[in-house]
Amino acid sequence: MRRNRAEIDASHGKLTRRAALLGGAQLLFMGGLAARMRYLQVDQADQFRLLAEENRINIRLIPPARGEIFDRNGRRLAQNVPSYRIVLVREDAGDVEAVLDRLSTLVELDAETRERVIAEVNRSAPFLPVTVLEDVSWDDVSRVSVNAPALPGITPEVGLARVYPRGQDFAHVVGRVGRVSQADLDALEDPDQVLRIPRFQIGKINVEAREEAVLRGSAGTKQVEVNATGRVMRELSRREGQSGADLQLTVDAHLQGYVQARLDGESAAVVVIDCESGDLAAIASAPSYDPNLFIGGISSADYNPLLNSEYRPLVNKTVQGTYPPGSTFKMMTAMAALEEGLIGPEDTVYCPGHLEVAGRRFHCWKRTGHGRVNLENSLKQSCDVYYYDLAVKVGIEKITAMANRFGLGIKHELALSSVAAGLTPTMAWKLSTRGEAWRVGDTVNSSIGQGFTLASPLQLAVMTARLATGREVTPRLVKSVDGVERPDGLGAALDMNQNNLNKMRKAMHDVVNDRRGTAYRSRIIAEDMRMAGKTGTSQVRNITAAERARGVTKNQDLPWNRRDHALFVCFAPYEAPRYAMSVLVEHGGGGSTAAAPIARDVMLQALAGGDPPLEAYPQGDRERIAEQQERLRALRFGTDGRARDRA
């Protein structure tokens, strides 16, 4: 049917409007697309350029060099040395097993190592290096380098490894490092990213661990270009990190070495403290171990003997071990009574060999008793009954308060692991921990350093330094950090009657230098080195009434672990104290026979700065001491006179 002109014009008008709408929509779409492209290419160009760079450029951490540790005279105790390792890259090696066969003709490569390497290669990306051997010698590196054309994919690398040149002498002081474990990371709230670097090492115990923050330093960074598979193509830039700070300790390496040698064969501890500064000149626990064994992972053959030994070589007895202080505690009981004005120096107590308290008999070590003794004689002869009597008068609260003032029952802050606080008991302590009321018998036992009372060798050395100086001497182990001195530990004067302190010092002098003193056989006869001290013997077993009636079994007739501990505390020179010391010999028997001779030898070494003149010893001891000095020199330095396992 023919349409008229009006219908045709109307139809054309509708088509024109539709075309206009469609064209407008197309223009709008193209305009939006153009705007979006401009936004992405111009406005967001920097951001997308950064994202692209991050896909192409990686930032990697460079481990810092660990700070080194020195003794007070600058001798190295922990140092970094070049460490060589051999690595393998699978994509460069081709036939891995064939390459390992050729490598085994040049360096020792056991079956276990070979299996480990193949397993790691198979689960790693082909371009990632896998460590074949660590801590190889320079000769091994040289052989591998010379034969490089025949060893595709094999490359020697160099890094830094921690070494302890003084070996076992400082295992319980410096400690050791080890690879970062998951437990180490879990223990930190916000672990430093450098800890996630493969094979990175941190301090595990003692100074290495406690001073980790200053020894570690800060990591550097490097920018490397990588391809789509993550392979490093080239290094673009590098920013070196900050090396860790060097530490200087207060310990004298020569004195420490002598003490460790002198304790050879014993389960013992010695602490030597400088009375003028609180510096720990020696802090030795025996037996010890070689911390170098732990660096790359210790073997079961080396670790099991350390773990299972009844002498406990892994334990630092100087600060971790707490023991009944025995008669070395008697000065605290006496000082409490003197400061309270409950006794005078000439007041006497009769000792028949025991004292009845609350229906119980407390025995003196001397079965027949000491007769009438005053303060000086009671300490000189170590009469127990005198202190039983004082304890009843003074009471446990005042005895404990006095012990605390002298550093017992106090945790001293040192850069060592597991420093113990010891125990100076009170009535409230027993009630809260044991649910029992305090008894007067508990006070009597505590008065001679038995019962609940416990102290570490470190605490006993601090106690002795405070007695010797009348000052609140505090132990210090870290002398300086990168040359910046840390505060010393001389401390303020103790708020005590000076006459009472003088009485204690005079009594301790007589313990060593009076013929009736318990340590007379360990005296020093050189006038300018005379020593004052106190012996101690602490029981580790109960003596029954039946055993006492038939005669107490001698220590030498008992199994080693049931013998008494032997203790001795001392200071010298008597007129102007320079050093204070404590000695503990686990299950050594008597303090006068086992601990005091060690203390005299160590004290003379400290005062003389080496082997002392034989004239410092009594005439009858000189031949034996000369032989001992020669034996200890051979033990420390070897028969050729060169330091054994030392830098």
Q: Answer whether 606's CB lies under 8 Å from 598's CB.
A: no
The tokens for 549 are: 């009636």
Residue tagged active-site, from 267, 285, 327, 417: 327
Residue 348 phi, psi dihedral angles, 5° rounding: -120, 160
Distance CA 611, CA 596 (A): 18
329 DSSP assignment? G
- Strand 565-572: give its sheet, edge to edge: 280-286, 268-274, 579-585, 565-572, 532-538
Q: Is 451 exposed, middle or buried (0-12, 13-18, 19+ CB in 10 A)?
A: middle
First to last CA, the chain: 118
359-394 in b/e form (b: 16+ CB < 10 A) is: eeebbbbeeebbeebbbbbbbbbbbbbbbbbbbeeb
Distance CA 212, CA 216 (A): 6
Distance CA 431, CA 425 (A): 10
**Which distant-in-sequence residues (6+ apart) come within 8 Å of 635 by Cβ?**
261, 264
Q: How far is CA 612 from CA 379, 617, 625, in A?
A: 29, 9, 10
**Which distant-in-sequence residues (6+ apart) come within 8 Å of 340 by Cβ?**
394, 398
Residue ranges of the alpha helices (H) in 234-365?
253-262, 300-308, 330-339
**Which distant-in-sequence residues (6+ apart) come within 8 Å of 369 by Cβ?**
351, 352, 353, 354, 385
Distance CA 141, CA 606 (A): 45
Distance CA 405, CA 400 (A): 9
Distance CA 105, CA 164 (A): 32
Q: Is 477 exposed, middle or buried (0-12, 13-18, 19+ CB in 10 A)?
A: buried
Whether 327 is catalytic is: yes
Query: 266: closest CA among 584, 22, 518?
Result: 584
Distance CA 258, CA 281 (A): 12
Q: DSSP for 81-95?
A: EEEEEEEEEHHHHSS
SS3 110: coil
Q: Answer whether 455's CB lies under 8 Å from 329's CB.
A: yes
| Residues recognised as catalytic | 327
